[in-house]
C-alpha cells in the first residue's frame, strides 16, 4: 500500500516539495498504514490497485495508483463506504483539484475550508460531506 500511496502522491500532489513528501511518507509508512483497517481495490489479477481507510463515517485516506486512475477503483471504494456508513465526510487538499472534482462528481459538497492540514502545515484543506444531514 505504501507504493500506491507514494506513486499517487507524486502524481497528484504537485504542490508538495520533496521534503514535504518525505515528511508525510514517514507518517504514512510508520504510523498510518499500521493502524488499519483498510479496504483494498484489486484488479482481475488480485493485485492491489488502490486502498481506502476510514474512521467511522470519515474517509481518512483514498489512494489509487496513478496508472489506474479513471478505471472505477476509487468510485468502488467510495460506494463500499456508502454501503457501510451512508453519510460520509472527507478532507481533501484544496490544491489537489483532481481529488476535489472526483468527490464532487460522487455527490460530496463543500462544507468549509481549513488553512492548515492535520500536521499544521500550510496546505489548505477542504472539508466535504455527502449525505442527508443538509450536505
Return the CATH number at 105.
3.40.630.30
CB 33 within 8 A of CB 61: no
Domain assignment present for 115: yes
Reading the chain (135 residues) residue by residue, the pLDDT tens digits are 999 999 999 999 999 999 999 999 999 999 999 888 899 999 999 999 999 999 999 999 999 999 999 999 999 999 999 999 999 999 999 999 999 999 999 999 999 999 999 999 999 999 999 985 544
Total domains in the fold of the chain: 1
Domain assignment present for 124: yes
Question: Rounded to an integer, what is the distance from CA 125 to the centroid of its chain?
Answer: 12
Domain assignment present for 125: yes
Those residues with Cβ within 8 angstroms of residue 117's Cβ, 6 or more apart along the chain or in another chain: 93, 123, 124, 125
- Could you tell me the residue range of the domain that residue 87 belongs to? 2-130
> Which residues face 34 on adjacent strands?
none
Domain assignment present for 85: yes
3-state percent breakdown (helix, strand, coil) of the chain, nearest 5: 40, 30, 35
Domain assignment present for 135: no
A 10 A CB-CB count for 70 gives: 11
Amino acid at each position: 500500500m505504501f507504493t500506491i500511496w507514494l506513486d499517487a502522491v507524486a502524481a497528484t500532489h504537485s504542490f508538495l516539495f520533496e521534503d514535504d513528501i518525505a515528511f508525510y511518507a514517514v507518517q504514512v509508512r510508520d504510523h498510518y498504514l499500521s493502524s488499519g483497517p483498510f479496504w483494498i481495490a484489486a484488479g482481475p489479477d488480485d493485485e492491489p490497485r488502490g486502498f481506502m481507510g476510514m474512521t467511522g463515517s470519515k474517509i481518512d485516506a483514498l489512494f489509487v495508483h496513478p496508472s489506474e486512475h479513471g478505471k472505477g477503483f476509487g468510485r468502488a471504494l467510495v460506494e463500499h463506504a456508502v454501503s457501510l456508513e451512508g453519510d460520509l465526510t472527507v478532507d481533501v487538499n484544496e490544491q489537489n483539484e483532481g481529488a476535489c472534482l472526483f468527490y464532487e462528481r460522487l455527490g460530496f459538497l463543500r462544507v468549509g475550508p481549513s488553512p492548515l492540514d492535520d500536521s499544521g502545515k500550510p496546505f489548505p484543506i477542504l472539508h466535504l460531506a455527502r449525505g442527508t444531514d443538509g450536505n
